[in-house]
């Protein structure tokens, strides 16, 4: 099936669905793994070498194009490899680069966010989770400003407050706000009273 | 980027990595004179094409044809990273051969998004589309929610409109994914006594 094609799969499965049952959940998308970006660079490199080959052939075959051949001298030039330290260093670097490529190719993409508990698939990114948590903290009495950093298991809220006694309120407000997530993360709150340390 | 391009990226990166690791280890051991006895171990070797090759009449033609091939392959590979995996039309139940009872993927996504905005107060805007991801058809919706909106209510609305989508299309193989995008918090005065 392509973007212009007609999808016929499942067309004959009949309308046995119940009205109350939502569509099945699709998995939370994963961030494109680094290998995708690397693939783009490799594709550009392959195309660039190809263009160089076309230029080379044009220069060698047709007199119309002014220029010196680039690939032929490079490919046929004297290049011998000897058993010396410089060769070992270059080989070592090549091994490291190869290991990095293998790691990049095999590393799975990270999940882009967290699931929200629902019958169908509902999710939000870590950035949205941070906005949600900081908004919940910012609405607590005594909070001047709040920011949050989120990961899969933990949300950390940094709040500038008028006193230390609001920490519990902030924690419960954020925890209550994130309770709708399929696996609510741990909430850590760090409050910073604005004038702590003495008035200046 | 579609799955096929991603597979090509992964396979070629793996291949390049393996060549670099295996070749690099061999050269490293050779340069340090630490290759096991019996392994091919020349005193020196020459890289590049053999001497005299470039004097042949076919040399520029070979370079040119190879250049054309690499340019075409590289360009197709690069463009593949931007290919959409959007599904334009879906066949509805009862249309065994396809082409008679069709539903636009954009209309389905847009309809679900509009229903979400209409039924849920916490959702300020939404958009939707149908994608093919691997072997799955995904109704992919992005809904912008107010930061102070009730998440449980939004989730309930998502379930209701997703149930309606299943009921109206009858496509059991369709899956759904709603991204809740939290709107930036409007400027408001801090709640300080």
> Contact at 8 Å (CB) between B164 and A110?
no
Nearest by CB to B191, from A18, A45, A140: name it: A140
B25 lies in the same domain as B61: yes
B46 lies in the same domain as B117: no
Residue B36 lies in a domain: yes
Residue B101 lies in a domain: yes
- The CATH code of the domain that includes A175 is 3.30.300
Q: Is B58 left (phi over 0), alpha (psi -120 to 50) or beta?
A: alpha
Provide the domain count of chain A.
Answer: 2
Residue A5 lies in a domain: no
Residue A171 lies in a domain: yes
State the residue range of the domain holding B158.
Answer: 89-182
Residue in A1, A5, A7 to test binding to B, most B beta-carbons within 10 Å: A7
Q: What is the dihedral of CA A70, A72, A76, A81, to 10 degrees?
A: 40
* Residues of A in Cβ contact (< 8 Å) with B33: 83
* Residues of B in Cβ contact (< 8 Å) with A22: 158-160, 162-163, 165-166, 176
Strand order in the sheet with B89-91: A6-7, B89-91, B102-104
Last residue of a domain, one of B80, B105, B133: B80
Q: For the residues A153-169, what does the mean pLDDT come to?
A: 90
Residue B172 lies in a domain: yes
Q: What is the ipTM of this complex?
A: 0.70
pLDDT per position as a tens digit, A65-97: 677 778 877 777 777 888 888 889 999 999 999
Q: Which residue of B has its CA nearest to A75?
A: B48
B58 lies in the same domain as B10: yes
B115 lies in the same domain as B174: yes
* Residues of A in Cβ contact (< 8 Å) with B141: none
State the residue range of the domain holding A181.
Answer: 113-193
pLDDT per position as a tens digit, B55-65: 788 888 999 99
Predicted local distance difference test score (pLDDT) of residue B36: 85
> How many C-beta neighbours within 10 Å does residue B73 have?
14
Residue B35 lies in a domain: yes
Provide the domain count of chain B.
Answer: 2
Q: Which residue of A has its CA nearest to B53?
A: A76
Last residue of a domain, one of B80, B104, B123: B80
Residue B13 lies in a domain: yes
* Residue B127 confidence (pLDDT) above 90: yes
Predicted local distance difference test score (pLDDT) of residue B19: 97
**pTM: predicted TM-score of the whole model, two decimal places:** 0.69
* Residues of B in Cβ contact (< 8 Å) with A99: 17, 21
The whole-chain average pLDDT of chain B stands at: 86
């Amino acid at each position: 099936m392509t973007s212009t094609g007609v999808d016929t799969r499942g067309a004959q499965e009949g309308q046995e669905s119940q009205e109350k049952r939502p569509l099945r959940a699709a998995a939370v998308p994963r961030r494109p793994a680094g290998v995708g970006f690397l693939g783009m660079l490799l594709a550009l490199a392959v195309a660039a070498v190809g263009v160089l080959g076309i230029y080379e052939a044009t220069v060698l075959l047709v007199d119309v194009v002014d220029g010196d051949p680039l690939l032929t001298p490079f490919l046929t030039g004297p290049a011998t490899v000897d058993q010396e330290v410089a060769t070992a260093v270059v080989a070592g670097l090549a091994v490291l680069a190869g290991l990095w490529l293998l790691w990049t190719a095999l590393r799975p993409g990270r999940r882009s966010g967290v699931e929200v508990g629902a019958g169908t698939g509902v999710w939000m990114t870590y950035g949205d989770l941070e906005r949600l948590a900081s908004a919940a903290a910012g609405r607590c009495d005594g909070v001047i400003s709040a920011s949050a950093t989120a990961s899969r298991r933990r949300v950390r809220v940094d709040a500038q407050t008028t006193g230390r006694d609001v920490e519990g309120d902030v924690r419960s407000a954020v925890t209550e706000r994130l309770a709708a997530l399929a696996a609510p993360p741990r909430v850590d709150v760090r409050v910073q009273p604005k004038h702590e340390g003495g008035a200046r | 980027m579609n799955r096929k391009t991603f597979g090509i990226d992964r396979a070629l990166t793996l291949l390049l990595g393996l060549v670099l690791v295996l070749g690099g280890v061999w050269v490293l051991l050779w340069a340090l004179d630490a290759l096991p006895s019996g392994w091919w171990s020349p005193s020196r070797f020459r890289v590049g094409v053999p001497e005299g090759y470039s004097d042949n009449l076919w040399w520029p033609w070979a370079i040119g044809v190879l250049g054309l091939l690499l340019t075409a392959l590289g360009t197709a590979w690069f463009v593949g990273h931007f290919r959409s995996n959007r599904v334009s039309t879906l066949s509805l139940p009862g249309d065994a051969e396809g082409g008679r009872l069709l539903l636009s993927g954009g209309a389905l996504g847009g309809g679900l998004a509009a229903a979400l905005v209409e039924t849920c107060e916490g959702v300020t805007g939404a958009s939707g589309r149908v994608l093919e991801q691997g072997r799955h058809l995904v109704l992919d919706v992005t809904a912008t929610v107010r930061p102070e909106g009730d998440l449980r209510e939004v989730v309930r609305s998502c379930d209701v409109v997703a149930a309606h989508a299943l009921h109206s299309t009858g496509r059991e193989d369709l899956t759904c994914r709603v991204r809740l995008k939290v709107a930036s918090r409007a400027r408001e005065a801090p709640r300080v006594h």
